[in-house]
Amino acid sequence: MKKLLKYLKNYKKELIFGPFFKLLEAIFELIVPVVMANIIDKGIGNNDSGYILKMSGVIVVLGICGLGFALTCQYLAAKCAYGFGTELREALYKHINTLSHSSVDKLGTASLVNRLTNDTNTVQNGVNMFIRLAVRAPFLVIGAAVMAVTIDAKLSLIFFAAAPLITAIIFVIMRKTVPMYKITQQKLDRAALLTRENIEGTRVIRAFSRQQEETDEFNKAVDEISASSIAVGKISAILNPAAFMIMNLGIVAILWFGGVRINAGDLTQGDLTAFTNYMTQILLALVVLANLIVTFTKAFASANRVSEVFDLASEENGAELPDRNSENIIEFRNVSFRYEGAGENSLSGLSFTLKRGETLGIIGGTGSGKSTAASLIPCFYRAKEGEVIVSGKNVKECDMDALRSIIGYVPQKAVLFTGTVRDNMKWRKADASDEEIIAALKTAQAWEFVEKMPKRLDTSISQGGRNLSGGQRQRLSIARALVGQPEIIILDDSTSALDYSTDLNLRKALKSDMKGSSVIMISQRTTSLKDADKIIVMDDGQPVGIGKHEELLKTCGVYSEIYSSQMNEKEDGANV
């Protein structure tokens, strides 16, 4: 929680004056029983209607002033809490965007979303309740206790007997519920994960008619949240009845023994009424304090979850700039990599050199390490062993913005964002002209369908490109990476949705339009890579062959087997 306090630095006035006004309200509230005692003893006792009216007016004034102080505190608390929440979310979102892929993998996307929304709201609510009640409740307990002692020290012993009992109940309940709140938050993460997966994969779910199974799994996760919340609720529900039972028994004792002391002449009726009010205030304040502790418990649990995100290391950023004059654009020196928590390396002993302007193909079975190798080039992940050299510099020592500015990366899954075609095309180069965008679209074989759209570059793209086909999304993703003529183009199996003719035209266009760029093409098709200057064949995370197409057919059994399994007359004819 301490790490989050810095986001309150702009709200010091609200943190000071909010509790101050709440303190004034509590003081006025403590004065009311004294005024009521005077009304009973002096006004009603002496049948003085003028005094009764005057003191009633004082109570009204005290009530109005208390209301004004309370509203002022509410305003200051809201300003501080919501301002704090806004700054916290902004800082958390900014930090998440600086995390490396490895850091994001540790918690998972669903948990990060839950912490960014649900947990920050809980912490924000904790700050709000702190300003509004953290000072008022303890002050009322202490102030009312002092006032009760000044009225009758012997009778106040009843309070000192009741208060520890309520405190003990609060302690026992808190001890039971605090761990349960943390478990509930973890179950919320699980539900968020299922929600995200099911919404994103709704087409796959329907294709396999898995709606009922997925619904049952989600219902199970929600039922677990419900069961956990109900279990906490059952224990917490004991608090108010138990506290009020003790409070009412205490009031009965006060009335009983107070009546005896009135008969003895040691106490007036007004004093007894005031004492009863103070007893009620004390015990109600204790109940409020208990509920406040519940709120703080949730807030601290959520604050720790938010702090865990801030504790994740940001992506390391060096100062080295790419050397535009280096002969080799990419060099892998005995590179090995293992994902966090994995039992074995995903990539082992990969070494190769790629010169500027050359095309590199990477092929292999599923899980052979092709995409892993590609993700090491823009330093999404860092090699555990060996060195990855890009444009003459070790990527670990490079400035990440400078490194990635020379790379056009197209991931396996085509990702487009809500907006227009033009908006999506400007991601690599914000000031790209329409001519540059159209040139990239033509190279990516996307202009042929964008040109037919009613608004062309101003055509709206829905979330994730849902209003486009798979092939159209892939071509637009490729075009986006080509804007600005990057020095390195990485196509990570990003032509899988293209037919053979379009794939062939794309490769020809890349050669003619992107002459100065080095292309790394990952594909399952040997026909897509046969013209590459160099092909790396991956098998179980290790390179089993490096060379040209013709060489590998003779020297690499894995490549020859892949090629033979894919070749037929139709495919050969499509790639002549």
Best CA proximity match to 427, nearest among 443, 407, 412, 442: 407
128 domain residue, yes or no: yes
CA distance 307 to 549: 52
Q: What is the amino acid identity at position 468?
A: L
The pLDDT of residue 407 is 87
Give me 142's structure tokens: 């202490």
Strands 407-410 and 488-492: parallel
Beta bridge partners of 247: none
Strand pairing partners for 491?
410, 521
567 within a domain of the structure (yes/no): no
Q: Confirm whether 187 is domain-assigned.
A: yes
Overall number of domains in the chain: 1
Domain assignment of residue 78, yes or no: yes
Let me know: does 465 contact 495? Beta carbons within 8 Å: no
How would you write the pLDDT of the chain (576 residues) with one tens digit per residue?
A: 677 888 888 888 888 888 888 888 888 888 888 888 778 777 777 777 887 888 888 888 888 888 898 899 889 989 998 888 899 999 889 888 888 777 787 777 777 888 888 888 888 888 888 888 877 878 887 888 888 787 777 777 877 787 788 778 777 877 777 777 777 777 877 787 777 777 767 767 777 777 788 888 888 888 888 888 888 777 777 777 877 788 788 888 888 888 887 777 777 788 788 878 887 777 777 777 777 877 887 788 788 888 888 888 777 777 777 777 778 888 888 988 888 777 788 888 888 888 888 888 888 877 788 888 888 888 888 888 888 888 888 888 888 888 888 888 888 887 788 888 888 888 888 888 888 888 888 888 888 888 888 888 888 887 767 777 878 888 888 888 888 888 888 888 877 777 778 878 888 888 888 888 888 888 887 878 888 888 888 888 888 888 888 888 888 888 888 888 777 544 444 444
Q: Is residue 196 part of a domain?
A: yes
Q: What is the CATH number of the domain that holds 235?
A: 1.20.1560.10
In a domain, residue 470? The reply is: no
Structure tokens at 375: 């993700």
Helix (H) / strand (E) element for 51: namely: helix 49-96
**How far is Cα 493 from Cα 472, in angstroms, rounded to an integer?**
15
Q: Residue 390's beta-bridge partner residues?
A: 330, 393
Would residue 439 count as lying in a domain? no
Q: Tell me, what's the pLDDT at 572?
A: 47
Instruction: List beta partners, residue 522.
Output: 362, 492
Q: Dump strand ranges (E) for 69-160.
A: none
Q: Which domain holds residue 17?
A: 2-311
Question: Does 377 fall in a domain?
Answer: no
